Every structure is written in C-alpha cells, then in structure tokens.
Structure 1
Amino acid sequence: MGEKVEHLRTRRAQSLAMGGDEGLRKHRESGRLPVRERIDLLLEPESWFELGALALPEHRTDRDIPGDAVVTGYGLLDGRRIAVIGIDASVVAGTTAPVSMRKQGRLIEQAQRFGVPLVLLCDADGGRMPDVSGWRFSGLPLDFTRFLKSPPGLPPVPRAAAVLGPSYGDSALHASTAHFVVMVRTGSVALSGPSVVESAIGERLTDAELGGPQPAAETGNVHMVVDTEREALDAVAAFLSYLPSSAERPAPVGPPREPGRPPEQLAELVPLGARAGYDMRQVLDAIADDASILPWGDGWGPSLLTALARIRGRPVGLVANQPVVRAGALDPAALAKERAFVDLCDTFGVPLVFLHDVPGLMIGTQAERGGILRCYEQVVSRIAEARVPKVGVVLRKAYGGGHFAMGGRPTRPDFLYAWPSAELGFMAPDTGVRTVHRRLLERALAEQGSGARDQLVEELTREWRSEAEPWEAAAHLSLDDIIEPAATRDVVATSIEIAWGERPRSGRWE
C-alpha cells in the first residue's frame, strides 16, 4: 500500500504542475496569473476541494496536459460553498477536448443539483485539434439541458464569470451563460478567435478589436471591466454576496448602513427643468446603503442604470434612467439590458426599485431597425410577470412607453410614488403640443403671424404641463402617494417590507 500511495502522490504532484516551468513562464509574461493562483485569490485559505485532478486527454501525445487543461472543484467564499471551473491556459492554451468538457459538465451538473453558486474563470483559445476535429466534434459530451442552465425541476444557481484572458470557444459559452461577467482590460471574449475569423471570412482583427472591453461592454457580453485579476475576482465575490446560493433560498442580508449621501440633498440634486441634466448616480447614493452599489452593465445601453445594492442591509435591484445620456431615453440596448436585469432579480428574489426620469422610448430609423418594439414588449411583459416586490418613484418626468418600461402602473408595481416635481403623460409638453395641435398652430401662423403662433404654443404648453403634474394622478390613485424627495429611501424600504409580507423571500423559478 505504501508504494501505491507514493504513486498516487507522484501523480498528484504532476497534476499540480500545470504547464510546467516553461508554460508558466510564458503565461506570466503575458501578464496573467496561473489558474491555481486565481483560485487561491478567490477562495478562503485551505478550503479548496478539487475533483478531477488526475484527468488526462483522450488523445495522448508526448506532451503532458495535467487535468486536461481545466481545474474544477469546490471552496468557501465568504463562508459559503461555491463551485469553481478554472481554465488552465498555461498548457495547450487552455483548449477544450472531450475529457475537459466532460469534467466541466460534471461540475456544472453537480453545482446545480447541490444548489451552490458557480464561478467560471475563463481563459481559453477554443477547441483543441485534433481532439475535436471531424466526427469527434459531434460526439462532444455536451448536454445543453444542463450545461447552459439548470435542468427542469431544479432552481437556478447564480453563475459568475471572470474573463481573464482571450476567451473563445467554451470559455465564451461559459460567459454567455453567466448572470454576471467581469473582464480585465487585457481580456477578450468572442465565439471564435482572430485567427479563425481571418481564415474563415478574411477579416483581420486583434483580440481587443474583436471582443475586447469596449465591444464586449457595449453589446452586453460583459457587465463590468476592471484593471487587474484581483479586482475581477473581488467583483465576482461582491456580486455573489447579493444573491442566494439558489433561487429557492432568500437573498442574504448584510448589516444596515447609512446612505452614501444624505437624503436631504435629493431635492437639490435633481433640477426642476425637464431638460436639465444631472447624474443619476448621485441620487442612487442617497437612496442605497453606503458603498453597497455594484453597477451591472454600465457600458451597455448607458441611458439606463442598473445596479445591485442594499437598502437597510437588504439586497435590491436599482433601475434608473440616466439623464446625462440621451436625456435618459430608452433605446433597444437599454431595454434589453433592463429585461436581463429584471430577470436576474426576479429569479433570485431581489426586490426591484425603479427611479423614473424618462422622456420616452427612442424613436426613429435606428431605433426601429434595432427592434425597439420587440424590446419594449419583452421588457414590459417581464416586469409585469416579476413576483418580487416592485416599487417605483417618478422623480421628474415619465412620458409615454418609457414610463411603462420603467415599471409604470400597467406592469403591476406593488407601489408607485412621485415627487412633487413629477410630470406624467403620453408625451412631453413641447412635443405633445406641436403634435396634437399642429393644424391649429399652422392656422395661427398663417392668419396672425409667428408672434401669435408662439404665444399660442406657450399657452397650450402651460395647460399641457398643468395636466402632467402629479396631483390628479394621486387623486385618481394612479399614484399611491406623492412624497418628499428626502423621504424616498425610507418610503422605498418600508414599501418593500410590506410587499414581501409573510411569504418566502425567495426568487421565481419554474
């Protein structure tokens, strides 16, 4: 037995060698950390429990490929068990082969069955030849009923991916399944790498041009971009701290904190003029607990802000228009981002808070060709279906379909409030007057001149604006109340508590 144990120890030591001295040297020179160091940075000390370390490729050569270029196992993060898949790019560029795919699929299936979050450390150059060439590709051990999502009958578990290098093939697939994707600035993510793209269609691109931080963030392929791998792994830990281990459990509660900015400043932060710009992030600071806001997808549809945060220690999902970007109008990208974020929050039991300052949906040729109608229908339907508490506050303006897309009354919010500065309606006053009264204004211009026409515009706009004020909406119960700006945080927190009631505070899953 002693000889057998010694042989086991030798094989284990070989599995820890990764790409060997030369492979690790080249990997470090590229500015990347070895996969096992990444895992050590992510997890609590001495908590790593590895599975599949002795795996070897089906197609053997003289070259050692420990673990078939992937490391899988479990560890503790903030005292909670998580599953980790780490691609080892120090050997054969982390390429995928049948054994590595089987190894990853097994851990994914286990994580979903056991109800533990899954973290994916992406850094791979696609499929390995000849291991996946010809008939072998068709026979890859992929089960898309389990690999991409939780199988029927099991609650979803949170997935977080860190893109830590060029990530193509199955690493890109991992990122596409994740609820949160963070990328280092030197990383890239795409279906196929530059060499394949050039060979197939003749387009010559760098990694950064194909799937680097800017294109990946703008398309929503990544939700956050950071400078270092340590920051990326910290972001993964922060994201998971807002979510339960699975959708059947309540989201974790943290210690309550004071807001990052005094709520009394809210009345000064938001100007009264509907066209005046301001940064909605400052408003979020006065509503959420200090240092609790985690942006989600800032580079994607930037006229809308989405973020995980805490209010009185409890996780919430913040959805807010950003007036400094196209006045906060919602384009197809913003609507697609909102739908994905609402789905995330509703799945994992995180209440939604909508802060309205929206002039409407983006219109015109570009918006129509981008699928604005389809995106609008999808987001309002998803908001209406959400079962978590939904609380909305109209800060300044909420016009047309934009108001509904921000959780307006037809989407069945639990509570809908407005500040005294709010304006509501089908259109903004200046646009509405010139549209609805176009013929009347043309007649005034023709018969009485431009001065009379301008005076009539002013009178009609004043009348339109008076009807847009929130008082009649509150009188007819289209609003639950009109609140002072400084009371927003307390009103939202209390409304969420009431909306939860005595039912289980878990997410929606079917």
Structure 2
Amino acid sequence: MGKIEQAPVWGEQRMGDLVADLRGRQERAREMGGPEGLRRHRESGRLPVRERVAMLVDEGTWFEIGALGLPELRTTKHVPGDAVVTGFGRLDGRRVGVIGIDSSVVAGTTAPTSMRKQGRLIELAQNAGLPLVLLCDADGGRIPDVMGWRFSALPLDFKTFVQPAEGQPPVPRAAAILGPSYGDSALHASTADFVVMTRSSSVALSGPSVVSAAIAEEVTDAELGGPEAALAVGNAHLAVETEADAIEAIAAFLSYLPANAALPAPIAPARAPARDPETLGELVPLGAKSGYDMMTVIEAIADAASILPWAPAWGPSLITALARLEGRPVGIVANQPIVGAGALDPHALRKEAAFVALCDTYNLPLVFLHDVPGLLIGTEAERGGILHAYEQLVARIATARVPKVGVVIRKAYGGGHFAMGGRPTHPHFQFAWPSAELGFMAPEAGVGTVYRRRLDEVERAQGLAAREALAAELVQQWTLESEPWEAAAHLSLDDVIEPAATREVLATAIEIAWGERCARVTGRWQA
C-alpha cells in the first residue's frame, strides 16, 4: 500500500486556510450596507434586499451568483456585490431568476460591475427559459463610476438586456418597485410584463435631484413617479401597501403564466364563480344608458378568487384582468360602463394593446366582454393620438394566435366593437346576449346624424312635434336593425346565448379553438 500524499501546500497556506478566507469574503459580501447603512434603510420603511429575496423564494432554494463582485473604482467604502444581489430560486416550486438592487449601500446606484451582474443574470435566465423577478430600489447611476467615457462603455447590451435574443422564446418579467427607482431600475420596470409598487415608492427615468439640476424643476419623488402618477400612464400595473403584498402580487401574476412563451400556461383546479351565473341576467340592466359595474359580470363568469386586475387605473373605462375559467388561465378584456360609459380613449386602447400582446405571447386565451358605445371622439381624443392607438390595437388583436372569444353583453357600436375583438379582427367565436345591440352608432345618435336634413325639413314644414314623432319612428327602426337576431341569421354572430350560459359557452369555445394544440408550441420559438 503506497504512502498517502499530504495535501498540497502553497507557500504557508493550506486548503483549509483558503476556505476560511473564502468564507470570510462570503460573509463580507452578505453585509450589504453594514450596521449603519441597514439602520438608515430600515428607518426609511424598507426591507434589506436579502430579506426581500428570502421572502420571495422558497426556503432553501436560493442559488446566488456574482456575490463576490466589487466596484471597478474602489474606495475605502466597502460595496458588497457592487450593490446588487443576483441568483436563482424557486417560487411556488418553479425556478426563477432574481435581480435585487441593494439600496442600503451607495443608494443602490449603478456601476459597471453591477450592470454586468444584472446582464449576466438576465442572459442566463433567458437562455434557460426562466421567468425574471426584478426587485427595484435604486437612485440611478453612480458617480464617478459612470462619468465621461465610462458611461458609454457600460456593459449594457440591448440585444439581451431588454428583450430575448433572436430565436429565443420570451420569458415573463415581473418587477416590484420598493423604493425610489431611477436609472436601470426604471429600465427594468419598463421591460416588465407586470409592475407592482408599494405606496411609498416611485419610478421615473431620472430622480428629483437630476430633474432639478437639469431643468430647474422642483418636484418630489411622489409627484414625479409615485403610484398615482405611474399607474395613470401604465408605468405600473398595481399599487399595494407593503413589500410583502408586492411579493405576493408577483407570485400571483406569475402563477397564470408559463415559464416561457414556448410552453402552455399552467392549469389549476377549477372553482365555481364567486357569483352564481344564474344571476347574470339580473346584473346587467336593459337600456344602453343604465350604468352597472362590469366586475360583477366577470365575478359570475371567472373562477372564484382568480381575478387579478392588470393596470386598473390606466384607461379605467376598460377592464383588463388575468383570471381562470374552469382552471385555465385567460385574459379578460371588458368595457366598464361606470367609467365614461365604457367609451375607449387613447389610454384604454394602448392598455388593451399591451394586454393583448401579453396574453398572446404567453398562450392565454382572450375573452372579450362588449358593452361599448364607441371610441372617444373630439379634440382631446385626437390630440391624444387615438387614431394611431386604434390602428395598433386592431392590428395586434387580428394577428393574435391564441383563442379569441367575444360576447356582446349589451351594446357594441362602431370602431369600439372592432377594438373589442369584432369580426374584422378574426375572433374564433362571437356570441351575444339577447340584450345586445350592434351597429355603426347608437340609434339616437345615428338617426340624428343620418337623417338630420329630413328631420329639419319636417320640423320646418310641420313643427317640432312632427320632428320628434319621426325621430322616434326612425329610432325604433334603427333599434330593430341593431338587435342580435339578424346578425345571428347572417352568421355575423355564432349564436345568441342566455346570460346564465356565458361561462359554459366561453369555456367550451376556448377548448374548441385550441383544438389539439393545447398551446401554441408549434415551433415558433425553436431556435
């Protein structure tokens, strides 16, 4: 038996010494901002980044990379991980990539090493087809690390940082805005499919100090990019009270989506709706001008406790929500009659286009619930770019490849009908309730527009009473033409259905539209 060789020695060091050194470095990497930095951070009402990560991922699943990263420009101040934590963990059993900005040290500012770490994590997650979770809390670029030529040399690759590489299936991105988030944190939010904010957070391209210095505008974080401002323009989709609520919202959002666009959306056990479908006929009043809350209709169609509103404060005359129907994830697009009568303005159209793209990308069927008086008209709408927003939306709906099923609940007029997935956008199925009205315009407005000269002549010749009698007769004729029966007779509708049958009809129609595909995994995302 040969002699056992002694462990190799390098100078005076043994492997045990090197391991001890490694462990010391790892411990320092986990210090974040140190006692003083963490104290200030907690006093601001925010949690340290590593506590955020621990709250997000399943216990015992964290796999960190880049922990020993340090700034390229180093001073006496220790900046663990260059102010960012990156790694992988499991969220409800599914692996995700995580980027967590550490604002307890140098305000979470961006420098080359931190940017390199973030890009590396994104590339690895994208290559593996894993969702990305972005925990945002940063005060923009770090000075002097990004001054002068260093800024243009930042390791930021827009071929992979903000989008998948060519030929790769997109992966879901979910961002939590947990403090003042400027610079690359704001960029993360702009790429995310879902952005949730805490009430005390903000998100903007540049922070108040930069705005003040650059254009002499004095503005607070909240005024610049707080939840009220961000939600109104679609920079964020949901606001919550606490960081724990934000983490829960991210978990809920990702539960509807596959890990990447090449996979089917995950199915959950079916649940009965929160409201009895038999009540649907009572929830919606007859008469096109009577208001009601469309959310009550959705609650009688979707599985109980499955409705997640998506950007409710952006274009609020339109509801966009993720939900489940017999356990299957769907995207619901519905007019909201209690907000602007449900008319679609430029904000609502842009929101819908973004939501349709989200659902089409990640294999979620689209359900359209129509009760729309039309597109908003007038100078405000035109200056808001309604024509361009409308054109982009209908093109996006028409090219969507997931099942598209519509139900006209009460009214569907003009371009608003097409913006809700009407026939020219190629829905797989189109149904209507007996209460439905379809046409170019509402009867009263249509008669007043089309027959204006005739009505004026009758009034001049016979008086106001004669004009009103003729107008009533014309409105009645227009209304009869707008009812769903002729549309069904000419197959413009696939059927007229009882309100109570809506859930069952939608579920069956979606199943038929999918056919044997079950999901759009037909090679589109194969490299």
TM-score, normalization by structure 1: 0.99
In the TM superposition, residue 453 of structure 1 has moved relative to its aligned partner by: 1.1
Is 1:281 matched with 2:295? Answer: yes
Say which one has the larger Rg. Answer: 2
Equivalent residue, structure 2, for 1:100: 114
Equivalent residue, structure 1, for 2:322: 308
Is 1:398 matched with 2:412? Answer: yes
Letter in 1 for 2:110: T
In the TM superposition, residue 347 of structure 1 has moved relative to its aligned partner by: 0.3
Aligned with 1:335 (options 349, 367, 375) = 349
In the TM superposition, residue 455 of structure 1 has moved relative to its aligned partner by: 1.2
In the TM superposition, residue 260 of structure 1 has moved relative to its aligned partner by: 1.1
Equivalent residue, structure 2, for 1:383: 397
1:414-442 CA distances to partner (integer Å, 9 max, x unpaired)? 00000000000000101100000000111
Letter in 1 for 2:477: E
Equivalent residue, structure 2, for 1:269: 283
**1:106 and 1:206 mapped to 2: Cα distance?**
33
Is 1:486 matched with 2:500? Answer: yes
**1:255 and 1:504 mapped to 2: Cα distance?**
17
**Corresponding residue SS for 1:502:** coil
Q: How many residues align?
A: 510
Aligned with 2:129 (options 105, 110, 115) = 115
**1:4 and 1:156 mapped to 2: Cα distance?**
41
Equivalent residue, structure 2, for 1:51: 65
1:384-435 CA distances to partner (integer Å, 9 max, x unpaired)? 0000000000000000000000000000000000000000000010110000
**Corresponding residue SS for 2:397:** helix
**Corresponding residue SS for 1:125:** coil
Structure 1 consecutive aligned stretches of length 4 or more whose deviation exceeds 2 Å? 506-510
Unaligned runs of 5+ in 1: none
In the TM superposition, residue 451 of structure 1 has moved relative to its aligned partner by: 1.1
**1:134 and 1:341 mapped to 2: Cα distance?**
39
Letter in 1 for 2:483: E
Aligned with 1:158 (options 172, 183, 194) = 172
Letter in 2 for 1:67: G
Is 1:317 matched with 2:302? Answer: no
Q: Is the 8 A contact 1:145 1:151 kept in 2?
A: yes
**2:23 and 2:228 mapped to 1: Cα distance?**
45
Q: Is the 8 A contact 1:347 1:507 kept in 2?
A: no
**2:479 and 2:520 mapped to 1: Cα distance?**
42
**1:507 and 1:62 mapped to 2: Cα distance?**
53
**1:118 and 1:130 mapped to 2: Cα distance?**
29
Equivalent residue, structure 1, for 2:450: 436
**Corresponding residue SS for 2:251:** helix
Aligned with 1:71 (options 63, 71, 85) = 85
Letter in 2 for 1:114: A
Aligned with 2:380 (options 359, 362, 366) = 366
Equivalent residue, structure 1, for 2:76: 62
**1:367 and 1:151 mapped to 2: Cα distance?**
37
**1:89 and 1:95 mapped to 2: Cα distance?**
7
The RMSD of aligned alpha carbons is 0.8
**Corresponding residue SS for 2:430:** strand
In the TM superposition, residue 446 of structure 1 has moved relative to its aligned partner by: 1.3
**Corresponding residue SS for 2:178:** strand
Aligned with 1:11 (options 9, 20, 25) = 25
User: How has the CA–CA distance of structure 1 residues 507 and 157 changed in structure 2, closer, same or farther, with 3 Å as cutoff?
Assistant: farther
Aligned with 1:248 (options 229, 240, 262) = 262
**Corresponding residue SS for 2:179:** strand
Aligned with 1:37 (options 51, 55, 69) = 51
TM-score, normalization by structure 2: 0.96
Is 1:125 matched with 2:144? Answer: no
Aligned with 1:178 (options 192, 201, 204) = 192
Aligned with 1:420 (options 434, 447, 466) = 434
**1:143 and 1:292 mapped to 2: Cα distance?**
37
Equivalent residue, structure 2, for 1:202: 216
Letter in 1 for 2:34: G
Q: Is the 8 A contact 1:250 1:505 kept in 2?
A: yes
**Corresponding residue SS for 1:287:** coil
**2:88 and 2:254 mapped to 1: Cα distance?**
15
Q: Is the 8 A contact 1:160 1:178 kept in 2?
A: yes
Equivalent residue, structure 2, for 1:299: 313
Letter in 2 for 1:387: R
